[in-house]
């Protein structure tokens, strides 16, 4: 007997962006995860989600969830930080 699916609250007004230059919109942030829906204002909306979905660590795009990308800075050669006087 299967359990009830969790619900993810999607906020289209909070886009998840890539770290490209210029940034690309990847989808909309999952802003809440709940066992049950509750009333929300538009444009927020609910979708069923797997248990592993965590708010602000996943985004929603066209029917699927993906993890939010992490930024990995590119090392810059020849810099040792600011000059201290």
In the predicted model, what is the mean pLDDT of residues 29-57?
97
User: Is pLDDT at 44 greater than 80 in this prediction?
Assistant: yes
In the predicted model, what is the mean pLDDT of residues 9-20?
97
Two structure tokens written together for 74: 């590119």
- The C-alpha atoms of residue 36 and residue 9 are separated, in whole angstroms, by 10
User: Is pLDDT at 2 greater than 60 in this prediction?
Assistant: no
pLDDT of res. 82: 66
In the predicted model, what is the mean pLDDT of residues 51-78?
91
Closest CA to 33 of 62, 63, 11, 2: 11
The DSSP 8-state label assigned to residue 84 in this structure reads P
Two structure tokens written together for 20: 């490209």
The alpha carbon of 2 is separated from its chain's Cα centroid by a whole number of angstroms, namely 27
């Amino acid at each position: 007997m299967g359990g009830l699916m969790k619900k993810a609250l999607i906020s289209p007004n909070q886009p998840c962006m890539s770290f490209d230059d210029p940034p690309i919109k990847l989808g909309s942030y999952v802003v809440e995860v709940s066992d049950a829906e509750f009333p929300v204002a538009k444009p927020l909306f609910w979708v069923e989600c797997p248990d592993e979905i965590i708010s602000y660590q996943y985004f929603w795009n066209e029917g699927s969830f993906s993890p939010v990308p992490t930024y990995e800075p590119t090392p810059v050669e020849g810099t040792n930080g600011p000059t201290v006087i």
